[in-house]
Structure 1
Amino acid sequence: MPSNPAKSLFEPFRSATLSLDNRIVMAPMTRGFSPGGVPGENVAAYYKRRAENGVGLIVTEGTLINHPAAGASTKWPHFYGANALEGWSGVVRAVHEAGGKIMPQLWHIGLTRKAGTGTNPDAPSVGPSGLNLAGEQMGEPLSEAEIADLIAAYAQAAADAKRLGFDGIELHGAHGYLIDQFFWGVTNVRTDKYGGDLVKRTRFAVEVVEACRRAVGPGFPIMMRFSQWKDNAYDAKLAATPDELSLFLQPLVDAGVDVFHCSTRRFWEPAFADGADLNLAGWTKKLTGLPTITVGSVGLDLEFTRLFKEKKGAGTTGIDGLLERLDRGEFDLVAIGRALLNDPEWAKKIKEGRQDELLPFSPESTQTLY
């Protein structure tokens, strides 16, 4: 038995495009502390605090691409415009000074955006077929010209991320937001090249990845976050079987995704009812051979979605099951969300064997930027 049972969390990670000091990732969490879309010194200090306490890779909160209906709050950070990009430059500088690495999560929320919200309240919300997550008609389908503009906006954000010195990008393709709305049959009933069966519904994401790759060149990491579940449907399935998951993932691999961030509500749950113990990150790694990040209520004694929906607190819990999976090579990296939000020193305490000093999660921590 090693002196620190969590030793595997602190082994360096190396892949074709990404090198990290350890296996701990800060999960992206919407914060809303960027008035006018501009992240300030408080945002830089927030991320720096996690980096200097041993987080190997920070994935930022969702940052809005340059589209008038990308977001629903005037306090969500933009990833366009001189002022916002200058703010992000300061964030990168602070994290790098602390020895950390950081990627922006590039985000468009699609038709989860309520009309009249965000920086441009008069702009109509958009989605592949004009359908919300319940399948209700909320607007017109995107035209192919509008789709081309969205793809260009993602690519421009990727180019800006590289120019600012970020260590890669993450594309938010999960939870029922825009990219995921193209993936899901409920929200994508298009009959052109962007719709059809599961494989054909990856076309938008494929073109986004390809455009981003052209913008950043080879060697710059592109991560894709995806999920089975949606914000309004925890039991939703993009892929009902491993074979379907393989069909879904392969076009994204071919397009140039380097790492898959596999979002689940509970990391310990099997991805499929086939008797195998592998979670979504485990199956994704097995099927693609690419590195994967697992996530989902790590370190909490209550699943994170209940904390969010019910405004509950949560105690800390052991991570032995997580470590067993990591030691088996089921996945490569572990994203920590609410536990790290409440306790910036989470990684350091785990490394030093100070689990008894971990702080319980409190809903109040979402109201501050610490």
Structure 2
Amino acid sequence: MLVARFYAPGDIRLEEAPEPHAGPGQLKIAVANCSTCGTDVKIHRHGHHHIRPPRVIGHEIAGRVTEVGDGVTGWTPGDPVQVIAAIPCGGCAECGSGRFTVCSRQESMGYHYDGGFAEYMIVPEAVLAVDGVNRIPEGVGFAEASVAEPLACVLNGQEIAGVGEGDTVVVVGAGPIGCLHVRLARARGASAVYLVDLNRGRLDMSAAAVRPDAAICGSETDPVADVLRLTGERGADVVITAAASGRAQEDALRMVARSGRISFFGGLPKDDPIISLDSNLVHYREISIFGANGSSPDHNRRALELIASGAVPVTDLITERMQLTDVHKAIETVASGTAIKVTIQP
């Protein structure tokens, strides 16, 4: 079978590999879709400290069960499934209190275990132990189901920040995550959603799909001034920084309303993680700043339900569908920002 293995930064190889078989406690699936994201770009360019190469990468996974290992119940060959990316251990203090996204021993598909850039893959026992395999609802395609993983992360972030009825929401970053934030905020009852990006082409492409109440190009205007103008100088109830930008995080503090909430959804580069933050603004205006990290198995289940119900449509966000042989092109397309969501169909 064909796989895409990461060996080193800049070195992802298409290789033939033996077809795997499910061992005890495992499932084997035929991968139908494994979508790509900015994390794949970072792995390709810089590697990752959790990846010990060679490793088959890819973590936004949907496919069909082809083999059920000994001791596994509830699944039969032919079942359509979506697989979680972040794998909580289920036994640490954080997991014990239900905070699976900050599990102190978390593992990940495509990092600690071979992922979905392959024709077939093994779902490890660790995933099944935390109920991390989800049956794809009827009417949801495999490509759409693969988008449940990033949507699950978006759901986690918006739940932490309390996005809800009547909120004015600013989403900074018009990539696929930003598009999902716009749609989920609307589904959660936001009264207005504004989308901000520095890249005019990416902003126009994404805004045409998700139709925010305003699309603000930060390279052409001052986004803080525009948000304040749009909100009658009050500021937004919630600002979500869906971009790896320290400037976006700093601007969030200037465009959020009193008693507003900020979600630092996008992490910053490891070599430049420090921002300038006016602590007095946080103090006197009672501003809340939240982190958001990945998703839990339950978030993945509910993300699939949001897709199935039509509350958060994703089909039109999948703007490129490529074969596994095009994995390098897929990653570079994500890096270029010329597509919203790119999916690979092995």
Shorter-normalised TM range = under 0.3
Q: TM-score, normalised by structure 1?
A: 0.26
Q: TM-score, normalised by structure 2?
A: 0.27
